[in-house]
Amino acid sequence: MDVPTDRPASGSTDRSRALAKAGVTSSFISWVALALMTTSSVASLRPSPTMAVYGLAAVFLYLVPAIVFLLPTSLVSAELASGYTGGVYKWVSLGISKPMGFLAVWCQFAMTIFYYPSLLGFVASTLAYVINPDLASSGVWTACVIVVVYWAGVWVSSRGTKGVAGLASGGLIIGTLIPGVLLVTLGLLFLGQGNASAAPMTADNLLPEWAGIASLVLIVNNFLSYSGMEMNAVHVGSLRDPAKEFPRAIFFAMGLVLLIFILPALAISWVVPADQLSLTAGIMQAFDIIFAEFGSQWLTPIIGIMLVTASLGGMLTWLAGPSKGLLLISREEGYLPPFLQRLNKNGVQQNILVTQGIVTTFIALGYALIPSVSSAYWIFSVITTQVYLIMYLLMFVAAVRLRRNDPDHARGYRAPMLVGLCGVGFAASLAALLVGFIPPSQFATGSAGLYLAIVAVGALGLGLFVPFLFYKLRKPSWKLPENSEVKTS
């Protein structure tokens, strides 16, 4: 993608002419289209049960991270993407150092190691309602589904299959919008028939009940829900007037994302009591109760299949993406051993995917060993969030340093009050990372020490210690020549 100029409005015509002379067709997208693209990549029904535990307070718990994390992340990453190609590695490398750039891109990849078990834990619980709802609380069932589905995804990805992105893009309609609208509509009808809401919906419940800091820990999960904006920021250069249109797109997308997150969470809280709510199967619990109320329980498996299809499509598109980015940087700088840099005959980084799969299989056993499926799901979600937040901390620091050290560098979009935005985003990210080490009030095992140990080993070990070892043990021979075609047999 071309690096935009600092004159996005008046320079758009000149840019189009220059591209035309070079034989390149220039195409712009509207800010509404960018807002919808952003919404499709961020919004999901998966985190809804997590916030439904709080009832009406879910509105507050979604708004806070949207303001202090989603907004700074969106605007800051847009400035970086419009001025520097190469993604988060290039941003952090130029703003801080190459080792920190490797740490940032490593965290972007490593968070998926715990993301897949939590995503597929949701798939397993949802799929249980298609087969046998009792399986939703079975750790063994959940572990088996994670292992089988993940390795099937590796096999599909290793074939170099095309068109997977289309499957995921359709997931916004199939697995998010249709079920979400249906859930909220039927939830309102459920209340309209005189049924009492399982969670109180009065003004006194707008704020979460304070029972110590552990009662607010679930807000950490919302940072993961809003993550990934730095990937959408690359499209800022496709707007005709980024300075004006990008903020519009972001605020519109924020409104849509909040509606998709908040309304289904409230609908779930209307029909499923908090003490009976599963963090993985909460959506299906709500549909099952509502469909039973209207004598249409036969629809429950159909909704389950829709949700599973969308989640699997999303998994397949994420499976190869972050690992490919890590592979390209490692080949250029020699950060990973040659074994992990090899490609199969289809040009896919199969060795990285297989190694990741072995770790994922080991992590999946946590669902079989941890007494509560919801507790295991929460632990893996927290670890995923914390590893990802390390990358965001580095990104905010890099953005400030680049603005100060290279203020005249051409940027298609300049975030307003950048230092302030970065300060808010950095403080919010750090707070969320630290709070994640505290067991939530809903954690069922009762062992705070075990919770802390698992989260610390997962987040700090995978997010900091492993990349440190790779960096310290690297050898000159790990750096492969450009256009190297080393492949597995």
Instruction: Give the per-residue pLDDT at 29.
Output: 81
Q: Integer distance in angstroms from the first to the last C-alpha of the chain?
A: 34
Q: In terms of Cα–Cα distance, which of 215, 273, 121, 274 is closest to 441? A: 215
Assess if residue 14 is contained within a domain.
no
CATH value at residue 85? 1.20.1740.10
* Token pair of 7 as six digits: 């004159």
Instruction: Give the per-residue pLDDT at 382.
Output: 85
Assess if residue 27 is contained within a domain.
no
Assess if residue 15 is contained within a domain.
no
Q: Which residues pair with 343 in a beta bridge?
A: 487
How many domains are there within the chain?
Answer: 1
Radius of gyration over alpha carbons of the chain, in Å? 23
Q: Domain range spanning residue 36?
A: 32-474
Q: Give pLDDT tens digits for 344-388.
A: 887 778 888 888 889 888 888 877 777 777 777 778 888 888 999
Q: In terms of Cα–Cα distance, which of 224, 190, 171 is closest to 50? A: 224
Assess if residue 121 is contained within a domain.
yes
Exposure pattern of 114-128 as b/e (b: 16+ CB <10 Å)?
bbbbbbbbbbbbbbb
Assess if residue 355 is contained within a domain.
yes
Assess if residue 486 is contained within a domain.
no
Instruction: Give the per-residue pLDDT at 15.
Output: 43
Instruction: Give the per-residue pLDDT at 488.
Output: 46
Instruction: Give the per-residue pLDDT at 4.
Output: 35
Query: Where are the extended beta strands (E) located within 204-326?
Result: none
Give rounded-to-5 percent helix, strand, coil for the chain: 75, 0, 25
What distance in Å separates the CA atoms of residue 387 and residue 327, rounded to the nearest whole number? 19
pTM: predicted TM-score of the whole model, two decimal places: 0.81
Assess if residue 429 is contained within a domain.
yes
Instruction: Give the per-residue pLDDT at 21.
Output: 42
Which positions of the chain have pLDDT values less than 50?
1-26, 163, 165, 168, 486, 488-489
Residues 6 or more apart whose CB falls under 8 angstroms from that of 259 comprise none
Assess if residue 118 is contained within a domain.
yes
Residue-wise DSSP of 40-96:
HHH--STTHHHHHTTGGGHHHHHHHHIIIIIHHHHHHHHHHHHH-SSHHHHHHHHHT
Q: What is the signed CA dihedral for 483, 468, 470, 159, rounded to 10 degrees?
A: -60
Helix 242-271 with 31-42: angle, nearest 10 deg = 40
